[in-house]
Copies of this chain bind each other. A is one copy, B any other.
């Protein structure tokens, strides 16, 4: 196109100003690492909205580059998807959560509300949830075991801490312990799904919902354990 080639030529003549200008909208020439990072960032948003079947041409449009250029950074679309998943899905879990959840100088109700407020804000975002669901629905096994492992460890810690503060003894069945913790964890997760997927309106603010759910979990904790152990006898 004439307009585009004119713009490029002009950019070559006026060095400093045009470079800064094109850097802002990623329209100009970029070093390898920077361009790749920009593609990954855009691709995350793109696939989260359009699904993993979104087309490379439209992604290239969103990036403001030609479709061919995508293949200079990623050999195939599959590789791009794998990289997005690795960075944006697996890379958001914080190690500090484990430490904070086990800080017994604070009441467990405070620890849980703080954790789940942070979890909702940083992990259960629209972008993360939609990508995760698209990946889970597709047969492509994008290593969900890693996430399962992390969440399982979180559930273990939560149950141990609550049981300790309430002086309740946990059953031996580890699957049962996890299922009890899922009562709270799943409730929070489903709230996020509702909010970001079903476009539900008229929803209370996050911190209010978390406070209610944590309170209910702690109040029902001992009776829930009883329901399980009573059944066995």
Contacts and interface: CB of A to CB of B under 8 A. Distances in A.
A198 B148 contact: yes
Nearest to A191: B186
Contacts of A194: 182, 186
A201 B175 CA distance: 9
A179 B198 contact: no
Contacts of A178: 202
Given A203-B175, A215-B224, A191 B182 contact: yes
A143 interface: no
Given A144-B199, A218-B220, 15 more contacts: A134-B137, A148-B200, A178-B202, A179-B208, A179-B209, A179-B212, A180-B212, A183-B213, A186-B186, A190-B193, A212-B227, A215-B220, A215-B224, A216-B216, A217-B220
Which of A144, A184, A215 has the most C-beta atoms of chain B within 10 angstroms of its own C-beta? A215
Query: How many copies of this chain?
Result: 2
A51 interface: yes
A211 interface: yes
A190 B191 CA distance: 10
A184 B183 CA distance: 8
A72 to B, nearest CB: 27
A133 interface: yes
Contacts of A182: 187, 190-191, 194
A213 B184 CA distance: 10
A140 to B, nearest CB: 11
